[in-house]
Structure 1
Amino acid sequence: MADKHLYDVDLKWEHGRIGVLSSDKLDDQIEVATPPEFPGGVEGIWSPEHLFISSISSCFMTTFAAIAEYSKLDYDSLDVKSTGVMAKVDGRYVMKEVYLKPNLVITDEKARDKAYRILEKAEEACLISRSVKTEIILEPKVTIVVLN
């Protein structure tokens, strides 16, 4: 694996507080805007705050998938609810905390402890989480579904 990777993103301002993100390497574009909680904010459009939380959540998921595969953990599904807490710190807004609430579904009761360990390892190994100063709070849940 190379020591350095590049990820190009282009942003084009459309009007007001709305722009469009794109990349030559990706098919989809994402419309972005100021969130409605701020003056001039726009409802119903992804905000930088949503994208910030999404980058942490999706990095957690992809890191988990890689570690689970390497560790030979079979799982049926993984859903991750994420909440970012923006608050004023020293008079400035910051993304103070991000709560990651993964719900992992497995069928083997004996793998429960292993599943929790891998969820914790994924949070620790996620390169986006390691790159931000925001506190990441992991609240994992492992659900056992018995197949008949």
Structure 2
Amino acid sequence: MESAHVYNVDIEWLQDRKGVASSPELDNTVEVVTPPEFPKGIAGVWSPEHFFVAAVNSCLMTTFLAVAENSKLNFVSFKSQATGTLEKVEGKFMMTKVLLKPHVVLPEGESPERAQKVLTMSEKACLISNSVKSEVVMDATVTFA
């Protein structure tokens, strides 16, 4: 794997507080808006704040998938809920905390302690979590199918 990778994202304003995100590397586009908590924000559409939390949460998943595979951890399912807290700090809004709540279901005979270790390794190795100033907290659960 190369030591540097480049990801391109283009944003184009459409109208009001709405635009569209695209990438020359991807087929899909995604609408993006100012969230409704802000003046003239729009409800029901992805916002930068949603994308931020989704980036941290999806990075945990993709890192978990790689670490689990390399560790030969068998699992039945992986789901994760994430909550981002946006606060004003020293006069500026910032995402101060992202709470990750992954839930891994194991087949009988697999070790829950090993699964917790893989989750912890995944959280520590997540490149997005390692790239942001926000506190990232994980509250994982592991159960059997």
Shorter-chain TM-score range:
over 0.9
TM-score using structure 2 length: 0.97
Determine if contact 2:59/2:127 at 8 Å carries over to the other structure.
Answer: yes
TM-score using structure 1 length: 0.95
Letter in 2 for 1:39: P
- Quote the Cα distance in structure 2 between the aligned partners of 1:5 and 1:85: 29
1:41 corresponds to? 41
Unaligned runs of 5+ in 2: none
2:131 corresponds to? 131
Regions of 4+ moved over 3 Å: none
Q: Deviation per CA, 1:26-81, whole angstroms, max 9, x where unpaired?
A: 11111000000000100111000000000000110000000000000000100000
Q: Select between 84-93 and 112-121 the one with higher mean Cα deviation.
A: 84-93
- Quote the Cα distance in structure 1 between the aligned partners of 2:74 and 2:114: 11
SS of 1:120 mapped into structure 2: helix
- Quote the Cα distance in structure 2 between the aligned partners of 1:135 and 1:109: 34
Q: Percent identity?
A: 46
- Aligned-residue Cα RMSD (Å) equals 0.9
Aligned length: 145
Alignment of 1:1-148 (within 5 A): 1-145=1-145
Unaligned runs of 5+ in 1: none
